[in-house]
Amino acid sequence: MKRLLVVDDNLAVRDFLSAAISAVGCAVETASSADEALGRMREQPPDAVLVSVEMADDDGWAFVRAYQAQMRAQVPIGVMASTKREAAIAARILGVEAHLRKPFGLSSLLGALELLLQIAPPQLVRIPLPAHSGRPRRAG
């Protein structure tokens, strides 16, 4: 099972991402700061990281730079940012593999997971409609 580390100082965001990522069959760990995330990565590197570059106390940009400088094993990193420009800059300058513009939808998240974890996109479940027999009923 692939493991993803989610780094964001917003508990609601961490909870949403944990639920969504778990639903597609990946294990999720979370961290609320850059220091906590770096510590978790030293203990057991995940298969990929998804980090907000807009954390209040520990800037996500600083996390990415510290990770690249300190960690020997390189894992794919995705960034989340409120503006497309910030996310694109992070992708270009820091060499991250995926970027998401907040707020993002489930389809964008799944696309980022596909890039970061090299997993196939989840298959849509088709629900058969009940067979319709005869003519439609008239009300009344």
Cα gap 70→139, rounded to integer Å: 71
Q: What is the mean pLDDT of residues 12-29?
A: 92
Q: Looking at the chain, how many residues does it have?
A: 140
pLDDT tens for each residue of 21-69: 998 889 999 999 999 999 998 888 899 999 998 888 657 878 888 887 8
pLDDT tens for each residue of 76-120: 888 888 877 776 776 677 777 888 888 888 888 888 888 888 865
Homologous superfamily, domain 3-117? Response regulator (3.40.50.2300)
Using only the alpha carbons of the chain, give its radius of gyration.
Answer: 19
Structural domain boundaries in the chain:
3-117
Residue 17 vs residues 5, 12, 30: alpha-carbon distances, Å: 10, 9, 9
* Contact (CB, 8 A) for 22 and 29: no
